[in-house]
Amino acid sequence: MITQNTPTMTDSDTPIFSVCLCTFNDAETIEACLDSILPQLDHRYELVVTDGGSVDGTLEHVKERSAKSDVPIRIFTQEEPGLGVARQVCVDNARGDYLLEQVDADMVFADCFDELVKFYLETVETEGPFQLYTKGLRITPQELHEELGGWRPFPHGFQENELTRRFFGHGYLRLMDVRVAKHLHPEFGFETAVRRYLYNYREKLRCGISLRYAYEHLYTSNLPIWRKLLDTGTILLTYLWGLNKEHYETFDKRDPLAYEIDKELYEGCEEGTYEDIRLTPPQHVDQACFNATEDKVYSLTDA
């Protein structure tokens, strides 16, 4: 456990909050994304941007906005590929005590940061440090990343599920059912969908679940026969593919949370199974966020 003093929200050369934005060829959406974020930021914030090698003008647009912004915008490029790497570059370079994470340039954000961080700091003061997980955004104390090891360097999607499980397993996760963000383009292209499908299986197997359990889960699922046949080969292929990669013990060998962890945790909160991690949003936070009845915006890699 770590001990942490809650900072006061006063003028300081060092920001309290670092908004961690990852970009990669997001020229069509970066303006809308920044328009939804920057007006919400003041002297308490900085914006940390990690770009994955954009060639469509995304980075140039961010630099133009940086030159006009009163809020510090610090821009970095990643040397290794993968969204997990990009998220960790943000963490490594953030100066704030608290990180607003899982912020991507194809998303727009509700005008709720002020209400959200006020509630978060008040709760931290009474409960101690934790990661707040909402639909579209995480708020994480920098020291918890240092304690738990930060983001895994996974290429596509599954790093979010792995991080959720790790914080949950150490008792640092709190869920709040409010929708903070919307995807501007929620559908993936075919190539991206295939990559996510393959990496999702590979990273599950790298993170602790057994090959046997992966097959048991598949054969007892309600997937159609053709999909079970396809996944039978895919599971073995991705298992062999990951043998020479670094392995982690985030999940138990027969861990149901390796599948659809967001859904399992939110439903568990509703049913009382995970009541201890549930935070009920106060009215002022709920009203500032997007309509929570809309379809899930994030973590489309929970197959």
Question: Tens digit of pLDDT for each residue in 179-193?
Answer: 999 999 756 678 888
Percent of the chain exceeding pLDDT 70 equals: 91
Helix (H, G, I), strand (E, B) or coil at 255: coil
Quick one: 215 and 281 in the same domain?
A: no
151 located within any domain: yes
297 located within any domain: no
**Cα R_g (the chain), whole angstroms:** 19
206 located within any domain: yes
Q: Indicate if the pLDDT at residue 140 is higher than 80.
A: yes
DSSP sequence for 83-150: HHHHHHHHHHH--SSEEEEEEETTEEE-S-HHHHHHHHHHHHHHH-S-EEEEES-EEEEHHHHHHHT-
77 located within any domain: yes
Average pLDDT of the chain to the nearest whole number: 90
* Separation between Cα atoms, residue 203 and residue 205, nearest integer Å: 5
Quick one: 178 and 140 in the same domain?
A: yes
Place of tokens 């499980």: 165
Quick one: 158 and 277 in the same domain?
A: yes
pLDDT, position 191: 85
Band of residue 8 on the pLDDT scale cut at 50, 70, 90: very low
pLDDT, position 292: 54
Q: Indicate if the pLDDT at residue 11 is higher than 70.
A: no
Quick one: 91 and 230 in the same domain?
A: no
Quick one: 169 and 125 in the same domain?
A: yes
Quick one: 121 and 178 in the same domain?
A: yes
Q: Indicate if the pLDDT at residue 294 is higher than 80.
A: no
Percent of the chain exceeding pLDDT 90 equals: 81
Quick one: 204 and 114 in the same domain?
A: no
Give the domain range for residue 225.
190-258
138 located within any domain: yes
Quick one: 180 and 81 in the same domain?
A: yes
CATH code, domain carrying 155: 3.90.550.10
Mean pLDDT to the nearest integer, 127-147: 96
Q: Indicate if the pLDDT at residue 299 is higher than 60.
A: no
212 located within any domain: yes
5 located within any domain: no
Quick one: 84 and 134 in the same domain?
A: yes
pLDDT, position 187: 67
Which of these ranges, 35-44, 251-260, 273-282, 291-300, has the smallest mean pLDDT?
291-300
Q: Which two tokens stand for residue 189?
A: 């292209």
Could you tell me whether strands 17-23 and 45-51 are parallel, antiparallel, or unpaired per DSSP bridges? parallel
Quick one: 92 and 203 in the same domain?
A: no
Quick one: 61 and 170 in the same domain?
A: yes
Quick one: 231 and 282 in the same domain?
A: no
293 located within any domain: no
* Separation between Cα atoms, residue 6 and residue 240, nearest integer Å: 46
Last residue of a domain, one of 219, 239, 258: 258
What is the total count of domains within the chain? 2
* Separation between Cα atoms, residue 155 and residue 196, nearest integer Å: 9
